[in-house]
């Protein structure tokens, strides 16, 4: 049933991260032709912005060592955007050589994660990004800035909102067009999300330039998304089938599943352009290739192997048949 809720947008842009953020964090390394087919199937299912790969050095992310091959295998189609992650100037060179027109850079709100993920302080990482964004803009590229650990950090604990705003402001000042707020460990709750978006707006980064990137590790991703939509955000990151996020624990979950997001948005009467049935079929196909079940609850619920048997099993009050 589609029932709108006051104060929410009519349309939401889903920024699909499965082929990059998803596959990067899966144990199984998928061949480039399968990756390209995954991206094409996602586009067939109606997704219009698909982060396709990363030009990170293969030493750090062997899962995406085939970025050139994936892009070469991928027929471009009008209306579908294929941003790629670019860590530094060398990555940007590779992206430009391969005809990429949209890139994303990946910063951290905390010093510890900057050090562990970027091998730099926050200041040094922003200094590293500056020439990347400058060159990208000069070449006419669209640039997204991720800021990670916006709600909490596994080493530092709570991350103050002012600290996130400060890093976000500096990243956007480099010339980025969109800011993606990443609750990388999934600990945030709706009040914190709302306060962060309001603080960013007060610092001149309005919700029209903000995307939210939630992880479902603590089950909070959809509730946080609802709060972000209420705060004016209209771009939401999600990963088809919920892939990625935590390669070491099969039961643990990472990225918000695109299907779970679409279920909520369509139920709210919000247009996404996505064909849910085609998307679920794609995620089931990819789960087979990854050799593990999709952590998406919608994919599980709509899977023929998972009978929707709760109702007949309930029998809370069946009186004796006498």
- Name which of residues 258 to 277 contact a copy of itself (CB under 8 A): 260, 263-264, 266-269
Q: Which of 151, 168, 171, 233 binds a copy of itself (CB under 8 A)?
A: 151
The residues in 89-128 that bind a copy of itself, with binding defined as CB under 8 A, are 90, 105-106, 113, 116-119, 128
Task: Give yes or no for a contact between 177 and 184, defined as CB atoms under 8 angstroms apart.
Answer: no
Task: Give yes or no for a contact between 299 and 318, defined as CB atoms under 8 angstroms apart.
Answer: no
Task: Give yes or no for a contact between 228 and 236, defined as CB atoms under 8 angstroms apart.
Answer: yes
Nearer to a copy of itself among residue 26 and residue 37 (C-beta):
26
Q: Which of 14, 197, 257, 286 binds a copy of itself (CB under 8 A)?
A: 257
For the bound state, the minimum distance from the C-beta of residue 316 to a copy of itself, rounded and expressed in Å, comes to 4
The token duo for 48 is 């219009």
Query: What ranges make up the beta strands (E) of 160-288?
Result: 178-183, 210-214, 235-238
The token duo for 211 is 């995307």
Q: Which of 147, 159, 167, 246 is catalytic?
A: 246
Contact region for a copy of itself (CB under 8 A) — 32-40, 67-75, 163-171, 306-314?
306-314
Is 246 a residue that touches a copy of itself (CB under 8 A)?
Answer: yes
What DSSP string describes 79-135?
A: T-B--EE--SHHHHHHHHHTT--EEEEEEESSHHHIIIIISS-HHHHHHHHHHHHHH
For the bound state, the minimum distance from the C-beta of residue 195 to a copy of itself, rounded and expressed in Å, comes to 5
Q: How far is the CA of 21 from the CAs of 81, 99, 214, in angstroms?
A: 16, 21, 12
Is 12 a residue that touches a copy of itself (CB under 8 A)?
Answer: no
Question: Kindly report the CA angle at 188 between 294 and 205, in degrees rounded to 5?
Answer: 110
Nearer to a copy of itself among residue 77 and residue 90 (C-beta):
90
The residues in 46-85 that bind a copy of itself, with binding defined as CB under 8 A, are 54, 56-57, 59-61, 85
The token duo for 236 is 């939401």
Contact region for a copy of itself (CB under 8 A) — 45-53, 150-158, 167-175, 282-290?
150-158
For the bound state, the minimum distance from the C-beta of residue 126 to a copy of itself, rounded and expressed in Å, comes to 12
Give the closest residue to 15 by CA, choosing from 237, 218, 203, 201: 237
Is 225 a residue that touches a copy of itself (CB under 8 A)?
Answer: yes
In this structure, how many other beta carbons lie within 10 angstroms of the beta carbon of residue 116?
A: 13
The residues in 182-211 that bind a copy of itself, with binding defined as CB under 8 A, are 184-192, 194-195
Concerning whether 176 is annotated as a catalytic residue, the answer is: no
Q: What CA dihedral angle connects 132, 74, 79 and 169, to 10 degrees? A: -20
Signed CA dihedral, 54, 56, 60, 62: sign only: positive
Is 9 a residue that touches a copy of itself (CB under 8 A)?
Answer: no
C-alpha of 318 from chain center: 45
For the bound state, the minimum distance from the C-beta of residue 150 to a copy of itself, rounded and expressed in Å, comes to 11
Is 315 a residue that touches a copy of itself (CB under 8 A)?
Answer: yes
The residues in 282-301 that bind a copy of itself, with binding defined as CB under 8 A, are 293, 296-298, 300-301
Active site residues: 246
């Amino acid at each position: 049933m589609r029932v709108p809720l006051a104060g929410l947008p009519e349309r939401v842009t889903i920024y699909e991260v499965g082929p990059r953020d998803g596959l990067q964090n899966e144990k199984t390394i998928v061949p480039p032709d399968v990756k390209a087919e995954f991206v094409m199937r996602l586009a067939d299912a109606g997704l219009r912005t698909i982060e396709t790969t990363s030009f990170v050095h293969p030493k750090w992310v062997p899962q995406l060592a085939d970025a050139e091959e994936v892009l070469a295998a991928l027929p471009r189609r009008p209306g579908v955007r294929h941003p790629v992650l670019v860590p530094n100037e060398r990555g940007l060179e590779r992206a430009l050589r391969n005809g990429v027109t949209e890139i994303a850079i990946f910063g951290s709100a905390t010093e510890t994660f900057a050090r562990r993920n970027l091998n730099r302080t926050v200041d040094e990482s922003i200094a590293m990004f500056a020439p990347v964004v400058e060159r990208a803009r000069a070449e006419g590229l669209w640039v997204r800035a991720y800021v990670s650990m916006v709600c909490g950090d596994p080493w530092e604990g709570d991350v103050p909102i002012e600290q996130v705003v400060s890093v976000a402001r500096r990243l956007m000042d480099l010339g980025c067009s969109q800011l993606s707020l990443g609750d990388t460990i999934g600990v945030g709750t709706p009040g914190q999300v709302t306060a962060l978006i309001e603080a960013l707006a007060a610092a001149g980064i309005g919700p029209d330039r903000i995307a939210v990137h939630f992880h479902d590790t603590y089950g909070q991703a959809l509730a946080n998304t609802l709060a972000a939509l209420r705060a004016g955000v209209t771009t939401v990151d999600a990963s088809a089938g919920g892939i990625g996020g935590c390669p070491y624990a099969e039961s643990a979950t990472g990225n918000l599943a695109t299907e779970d997001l679409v279920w909520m948005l369509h139920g709210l009467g919000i247009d996404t352009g996505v064909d849910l049935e085609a998307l679920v079929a794609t995620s089931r196909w990819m789960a087979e290739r990854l050799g593990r079940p999709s952590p998406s609850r919608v994919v599980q619920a709509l899977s023929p192997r998972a009978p929707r048997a709760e109702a007949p099993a309930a029998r809370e009050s069946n009186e004796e048949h006498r």
